[in-house]
Chain A
Amino acid sequence: MTSIRRKTSVLVAASIAGLLALGGLALYAVVHAALTSQLDNVLSSRASALQSLTRFDEDKVEMDFNGEVMPRYQAGKDAEFFVAWQRRDHGWQVLERSESLRAFAWPLVAGEPPAPGSVNVPLPDKQAGRSLTIDFVPRTEHEGADERDAAPPAVGEPSLAPTVRVLVTQSRLALDRTLRTIALSIGGVGLALVLASVAATRRAVRRGTRPLETLAARVAEIGPGTLDRRLNADDLPTELTPIAGRLNSLLARLDDAFARERRFTSAASHELRTPIAELRMLLEVGLSRERTPERWAQSARDGLGVLDRAQRLTEALLQLSRAEVGSHAALPDAMIDLAGVMREQAARALEASGRDVSHVFIDAPGPLPARIDLALAASIIGNLIDNALRHGDVSANRPVRCNAARDAGETFIVISNHAPGLTDTDVAHLFEPFWRKDTARDARGGFGLGLAVSRALAASLGGQLIAVMDHEKNLRVSFRVPT
């Protein structure tokens, strides 16, 4: 399982470590360049000093080098080296060399002129060194002139002096040691900073993710029995407020669904317990005394009546269950006339209820062909008309109105009746299983499942049932199917 805290800590720590490494490298590079440049400046000044000691006098190049004045070129520890060559007709000849070179024959640096700048070279004792090679034309010594007046030939005046090449070399030991110390320091400090940043990151991330833990703890406290609770988002950071809002909205929907399920289970349980209680009493009281055959026969008839009702209840529950799990019914090949189905069902319902024909008013302009299952459509429409006749305030003056129409690709069957006893709250519960306006068992045998079954059937046809009530207490139940 991925931990946000761990992942964020690793990412932040890795970023900090990377940045510190880059910074350390950059710092090291700058220091390295600065110290090397400093060494190169020293080499350059050494070469310039040797150049100033070199002069051309009477067809001869001379270098006034005195090892005692410049002890750095004497053999010994931390000695420096130099070699000076002068060009001759057939190549280069060593003009002067430091004593520190002893017998070591420093090879002539190639190139005409040699590559500018300093380069790393191995020293005679195999240690790392750095050298600078320069070419110059020695100043010409004019007779009688002071040395300080010696000057290179004037521009345009050809010099007779041969080119002199001087190589100066110095050990890199001190430089390398300093650079190593600096590198180790940067590395050590960098490592310490990385470790400190890991600890700081972990603490910061833990602190930063604490609201997530708070939210998780609050969510964990909510179970099936406490779905009415809501998450308090007041003290949560703004990033989590929308999540808390969504969760609260989900909880509200879950609470509603659980409440509906509980109501259904409670109602179903109630309906199933009642016939059991009736049969039990019938038999217990019957068996408590000696009874006549006639009395037993009456008890048997009563028991059959109870069983008949229980059977109808079971069948209605099964019908609801099948309708709810049923997917959209396959489209039949033949079209049916929904207006015709409505007329047939109105006639059947009128006959079943024993009401006068004036108690139903049919308004259907013409045939309404639709490609849906005839039996299901008849069941839905018939149930709506039955309900209207059974529960509505129906008379010749206030008939049940059955309208059929088509609009915007949908076919409507609207059954409306005057329902003065219904409230808007009742209308919201109309399609709930076992809901009845009167809490009693319906004397006419209803269980409060008819509209729930009809709605599930309508959904299985890809349609829907909608109930609305106007301000004059006329209940309109619309069955809509896509045409």
Chain B
Amino acid sequence: MRILIVEDSAVLRDSLTQGMREAGYAVDAVADGRSGLIHAQTTDYDVVVLDWMLPEMDGLSVLSAMRAKKLPAAVLILTARDTIDDKVRGLTTGADDYLVKPFAFKELLARVAALARRRHGERSPVVVVGPLTIDTAAKAVRLTLTASATCKGAATVTLDLTPREYTLLEYLALRAGKPVTRAELEEHLYDDRSQVFSNSIDSAIAALRGKLDAAGGPECPSLIHTRRKVGYVLKEGTA
């Protein structure tokens, strides 16, 4: 999931960026409204965390411009303005959520996770794709195997994934059944500071497949399918 943080306080911006990255998000951060709008227009962010009082262009103007351009990113307004009128104004301008400073980081993470899920049409924090169960709150992935001729035997296996592998699987799961291009994966899984090579996505997919196959056994059908010249799709059964 890729997040944009627009916050003029350097301390807050740096802390949020660090915390969100450590939580597994790809994060870009800018200090003023104009840069925020440019970023939002040029990158398909899942969630934008937007301060209200910003230099150059205030948060509500950025939000209005985003909504006018029909940008799909979910927007969470993060501000010290705490009156009912302020909240109503923020939400009616097009914000998906509103959080008043000071706030607990855990709450912000939970709200951003919920917004990211809803952005892809998923309301439940637990996403199930065939035998795969992805708990987006605990960031845990379980594989439930039933005894069959092709699989090892009945069991529930918890997969040990790296943060990058988890975010890749989570994104594919949220788009389960639909092909996802490499470019889309790159845009949502890597931020501006990441070094993305031409085979980065393929390597990550290969590693993820390896772990899924290892857990399910060589006879268990693979869940990640390659669509030639398109990308990948996560679904149960054959491609």
Q: A438-B55, A439-B54, A441-B53 are in contact. Are A274 and B101 (CB under 8 A)?
A: yes
Q: Which residue of B lies closest to A305 (CB)?
A: B11
> How far does the alpha carbon of A332 sit from the alpha carbon of B17 in the complex, in Å?
55
Chain B residue numbers with a CB within 8 Å of A266 are 81, 83
Chain A residue numbers with a CB within 8 Å of B32 are 440
- B81 near A270 with CB under 8 A, answer yes
- A306 near B11 with CB under 8 A, answer yes
Q: Mark B43-63, 1 if CB is under 8 A from A, else 0.
A: 000000000111110100000
- A289 near B83 with CB under 8 A, answer no
Q: A284-B104, A439-B54, A440-B54 are in contact. Are A269 and B15 (CB under 8 A)?
A: no
A residues 393-416 near B (Cβ < 8 Å) are: none
Checking A282, A306, A440 against B53 with a beta-carbon cut-off of 8 angstroms, the contacting residue is A440
Is B155's beta carbon under 8 Å from chain A?
A: no
- A269 near B80 with CB under 8 A, answer yes
Q: A269-B82, A277-B80 are in contact. Are A441 and B22 (CB under 8 A)?
A: no
- A302 near B82 with CB under 8 A, answer no
B residues 1-51 near A (Cβ < 8 Å) are: 8-9, 11-12, 14-16, 18-19, 22, 32
- B55 near A284 with CB under 8 A, answer no
Min Cβ gap A45→B in Å is: 101
- A288 near B22 with CB under 8 A, answer yes
Chain A residue numbers with a CB within 8 Å of B105 are 280-281, 284-285, 288
Is A253's beta carbon under 8 Å from chain B?
A: no
Q: A277-B80, A278-B9, A278-B12 are in contact. Are A284 and B101 (CB under 8 A)?
A: no
- A284 near B19 with CB under 8 A, answer yes
- B8 near A281 with CB under 8 A, answer no
A residues 276-316 near B (Cβ < 8 Å) are: 276-278, 280-282, 284-286, 288-289, 302-303, 305-306
- A273 near B22 with CB under 8 A, answer no
Chain B residue numbers with a CB within 8 Å of A276 are 101-102
Min Cβ gap B150→A in Å is: 41
Chain B residue numbers with a CB within 8 Å of A438 are 55-56
Q: Which residue of A lies closest to B52 (CB)?
A: A439
Q: Is the interface of A mostly helix, strand, loop or mixed?
A: helix
The total of chain A residues at the interface (CB under 8 A) is 26
> How far does the alpha carbon of A276 sit from the alpha carbon of B11 in the complex, in Å?
11
- A281 near B15 with CB under 8 A, answer yes
Checking A281, A282, A288, A439 against B58 with a beta-carbon cut-off of 8 angstroms, the contacting residue is A439
> How far does the alpha carbon of A443 sit from the alpha carbon of B103 in the complex, in Å?
23
> How far does the alpha carbon of A266 sit from the alpha carbon of B12 in the complex, in Å?
20
Min Cβ gap B78→A in Å is: 8
The total of chain B residues at the interface (CB under 8 A) is 29
Q: Mark B104-120, 1 if CB is under 8 A from A, else 0.
A: 11100000000000000
Most buried by B among A271, A276, A282, A439: A439
Q: Mark A247-287, 1 if CB is under 8 A from B, else 0.
A: 00000000000000000001001110110111011101110
- A439 near B53 with CB under 8 A, answer yes
> How far does the alpha carbon of A302 sit from the alpha carbon of B16 in the complex, in Å?
14
A residues 2-45 near B (Cβ < 8 Å) are: none
Min Cβ gap A46→B in Å is: 102
Q: A440-B53, A440-B55 are in contact. Are A282 and B80 (CB under 8 A)?
A: no
Min Cβ gap A268→B in Å is: 10
- B53 near A289 with CB under 8 A, answer no
- B101 near A277 with CB under 8 A, answer yes
Chain B residue numbers with a CB within 8 Å of A282 are 11, 15
Min Cβ gap A273→B in Å is: 4
Q: Which residue of A lies closest to B83 (CB)?
A: A266
Min Cβ gap B107→A in Å is: 10
B residues 75-101 near A (Cβ < 8 Å) are: 79-83, 100-101
Chain A residue numbers with a CB within 8 Å of B83 are 266
> How far does the alpha carbon of A108 sit from the alpha carbon of B137 in the complex, in Å?
135
Chain A residue numbers with a CB within 8 Å of B53 are 270, 439-441
Chain B residue numbers with a CB within 8 Å of A285 are 15-16, 18-19, 22, 105
Min Cβ gap B32→A in Å is: 7
A residues 181-237 near B (Cβ < 8 Å) are: none
Q: Which residue of B lies closest to A272 (CB)?
A: B80
- A281 near B19 with CB under 8 A, answer yes
Q: Which residue of A lies closest to B61 (CB)?
A: A439
Chain A residue numbers with a CB within 8 Å of B82 are 269, 273
- B54 near A281 with CB under 8 A, answer no
Chain B residue numbers with a CB within 8 Å of A286 are 15
Checking A277, A288, A289, A302 against B103 with a beta-carbon cut-off of 8 angstroms, the contacting residue is A277
Q: Which residue of B lies closest to A284 (CB)?
A: B105
Q: Which residue of B lies closest to A287 (CB)?
A: B105
Min Cβ gap A104→B in Å is: 106
Chain A residue numbers with a CB within 8 Å of B102 are 273, 276-277, 280
Q: A284-B104, A285-B18, A289-B22 are in contact. Are A278 and B54 (CB under 8 A)?
A: no
Q: Which residue of A lies closest to B21 (CB)?
A: A285
> How far does the alpha carbon of A282 sit from the alpha carbon of B105 in the complex, in Å?
10
Most buried by B among A266, A277, A443: A277
> How far does the alpha carbon of A443 sit from the alpha carbon of B12 in the complex, in Å?
14
* Top-6 shortest CB links A-B: A440-B55, A277-B101, A277-B102, A273-B80, A281-B15, A285-B19
A–B Cβ pairs within 8 angstroms, 11 of them? A266-B83, A273-B82, A274-B101, A277-B9, A284-B106, A285-B19, A286-B15, A288-B105, A302-B11, A303-B11, A438-B55
Besides A270-B53, A270-B80, 7 new A-B residue pairs in contact (Cβ under 8 A), listed by A number: A269-B80, A273-B80, A274-B12, A280-B102, A281-B19, A302-B14, A441-B53
